[in-house]
Amino acid sequence: MENEGRRRFLGVCVAGATAAAAVAAGYPVFRYLAPRSGQGGGAKLVIPAGELKEGDAKFFEFAGSSAVLIKTKSGELVALSAVCTHLGCIVQWVKEKQQFLCPCHGGQFSTDGTVLGGPPPRPLAKIPLTVTEGNITIG
């Protein structure tokens, strides 16, 4: 009788510790993969044009979400949402291939956001930009 109570108490302790460990291990992964929100997003953002070389991408927060500015190897500037259109993970820039890769399910996007492969149903959303006097204004 007493042993059964101890066993039940021990079971509750083990289950609680397991749940706490799962949350502690999973939260950093969730924060890395989930779209960010409410962190310094704004309606307009100015980036000095000199910050980006041909073939590079710069990630930033825009309107409460992750976005990316690309300068293609031909010098064209493109601003896109960095949120994958499949399930919302943040895409990564693969400079060697000049394309985006989604780390969650392998979605691939070109420099203009077009889907090249994987499960994403739509292209990455484009964000308007203008270039004046050496500054790139996003939004």
Burial of 81 (0-12, 13-18, 19+ CB in 10 A): buried
Nearer to ligand FES, 66 or 136 (CB): 66
Who's near 47: CB < 8 A, 6+ residues apart? 58, 60, 69, 135, 136, 138
Nearer to ligand FES, 12 or 87 (CB): 87
User: Least distance (Å) from ligand FES to the CB of residue 49?
Assistant: 30
Nearer to ligand FES, 98 or 108 (CB): 108
φ/ψ bin of 43: left (φ > 0), alpha (ψ from -120 to 50), beta (otherwise):
alpha
Interface positions with ligand FES (CB under 6 A): 84, 86-87, 89, 102, 104-105, 107, 118-120
User: Least distance (Å) from ligand FES to the CB of residue 107?
Assistant: 3
User: Least distance (Å) from ligand FES to the CB of residue 105?
Assistant: 3
